[in-house]
Amino acid sequence: MHHGLLVPPVYSPIPPAIHPRHQAVDRQNAAWAHAFGIGSTELRDKLVASEIGTFAARILPEGDEEVARLLADFILWLFGVDDGHCEEGELGADPGLLAGELSRLLRVAQNPEAPMLQQDPLAHGLRDLSRRMAHHGTPAQVTRWVDALREYFLSVVWEAGYRSHATVPDLNDYTLMRLYDGATSVVLPLLEMGHGYELDPGERDHRSVRAAAEMAYFVITWDNDLFSYHKESRAGQHYLNVLRVLQHHRGMDPEDALRTAVAQRDRVMVLFERLCDHLTSTVAGPRLRQYLRSLGHFIRGAQDWGISSHRYTTPDDPARLPSTFLDAPTDDSSEPLDIPCIAWWWDLLPRTQDAPSPPLPHKTSL
C-alpha cells in the first residue's frame, strides 16, 4: 500500500507573521478571481479554496492592505498561468506556442491599453493588475515587475521544452530554471510597494543583495518542492521537482532524495541568515533592512502557507506534511553546494570567523 512520502519539519529561523486583515484579503481575492473569471471554473474553485489571500498576508504582515490585496490577486493570476497554461494546459508542452501567448500577455502588462487579447480573462485580469501596479509603484518599479515577468516566462518556456520531450534536467540546469520558474522574483517589486519605498538601484542590484534575493528564491522553491511533491507526483502529468531530479540523475530513492534536498535548503537558509545579518549590521540603511526583513517574511510565509493550504495538503488524499518547524538545520556547513550556477553565493562572506570580509555595498544616505 502506498502511503506517500513523509516530509519532516524543516529548519526555519524566521518567526511567523500575518497581516491583521488577512481574512478580508482572502475574501476579496476570491471575489477578484470570480469577477475576472480567471481559469476554468474547476481551476478557479480550486484556487479560491487554497487561501492565496492568506499567503499574501503572510508575505506583507505589516504592509499596506491594498498592496497585500494586489499581491494576492497577482499570485492567483500567476497560478492561473502556471496551472492553466503551463502544467495542465495544452501550451505547456509546446514551447513555441507558449512563448507567443506569454509574449502577448507581456505586452498587456506593459501597455494595458493595447487592444489585444480582448476576450481573454487572463489578459483582462492582467490589465487590472498592471493599472494597480502603476498606482502603487513608481514607473521604475512597474518596469521591473514587467522585466521579472519576462524572466519568469522565459523559464517556463524552458520548462515546456522538458515537458514536450518528457525529459528531466540535471541539478544545475534545474536550479537555474527553478530560480525563476517559481515566480519568486516577480514578487519583489511588491515588497517595496507594500512599504511605500523604492530601493536605490545600486543597493538592490549589488551582488550581495541580489544573492540574498536569489537565496530566498532557492529556499522558497526547494520548500515548495518538498511540500508539493505529493500533489505533483500523483497528478499523472510530467512534473519537474528537485526530488525527481535527484532520483533521476543520482539514482536516489525518494527518502534519500528528500534528505539531500533538505540538506541543500538548510545550507542555503544558513547562508541567507548570515548574509542578511552581515548586511544589516554593516552597510544597510532602513530601506535595505526592510527589504531583507521582507525576504524573510516571504520565505516564512511560503512555509506556513505551504504546510497548511489545501493546495498541498490535498484533503481527499492527504499529504504527509509537517505541522511544525525546526530551530536547527540538518546541515550547517558553510561549504558551497556542488551546483555551479549558485556556488558563487558562498564567496560573499568569509568561511571562518577570523578571515577578512569581502567588500560589500557602500553605505548609502538612507
The answer to whether residue 228 forms part of the interface with Mg ion (CB under 5 A) is: yes
Instruction: Pick out residues in 305-344 that bind ligand 3E9 (CB under 6 A).
Output: 311
Phi, psi of 344 (to 5 degrees): -65, -20
182 contact choice in ligand 3E9, Mg ion, none (CB below 5 to 8 Å, kind-dependent): ligand 3E9
> What CA–CA distance (Å, rounded) separates 133 from 139?
9
Question: Which three three-digit cell numbers place residue 220?
Answer: 522558497
Instruction: Pick out residues in 109-168 that bind ligand 3E9 (CB under 6 A).
Output: none
When the beta carbons of 141 and 313 are compared against Mg ion, the nearer one is 313
Nearest Cα residue to 232 out of 314, 156, 301, 170: 314
| Candidate list 67, 126, 148, 187; residue touching ligand 3E9; CB under 6 A | 187
The answer to whether residue 223 forms part of the interface with Mg ion (CB under 5 A) is: no
Q: Which stretch binds ligand 3E9 (CB under 6 A): 22-30, 89-97, 127-135, 177-185?
A: 177-185
When the beta carbons of 221 and 247 are compared against ligand 3E9, the nearer one is 221
The answer to whether residue 348 forms part of the interface with ligand 3E9 (CB under 6 A) is: no
Helices (H), the chain: 22-36, 41-48, 52-59, 65-81, 95-110, 121-136, 139-165, 171-181, 188-193, 201-204, 207-233, 242-250, 254-282, 286-308, 310-313
When the beta carbons of 11 and 79 are compared against ligand 3E9, the nearer one is 79
CB of 80 to Mg ion, least distance (A): 12
Supply the DSSP string of 203-228, one letter for each residue: HHTSHHHHHHHHHHHHHHHHHHHHHH
User: Binding residues for Mg ion, how many (CB under 5 A)?
Assistant: 4
| Candidate list 91, 220, 257, 258; residue touching ligand 3E9; CB under 6 A | 220
> What CA–CA distance (Å, rounded) separates 260 from 335?
15
| Candidate list 26, 51, 73, 82; residue touching Mg ion; CB under 5 A | 82
The answer to whether residue 78 forms part of the interface with ligand 3E9 (CB under 6 A) is: yes
Question: 171-181 and 242-250 are packed helices; what angle lies between their axes, rounded to 10 degrees?
Answer: 170
Residues in the site for ligand 3E9, rule: CB under 6 A? 75, 78-79, 82, 182-184, 187, 220-221, 224, 228, 302, 311
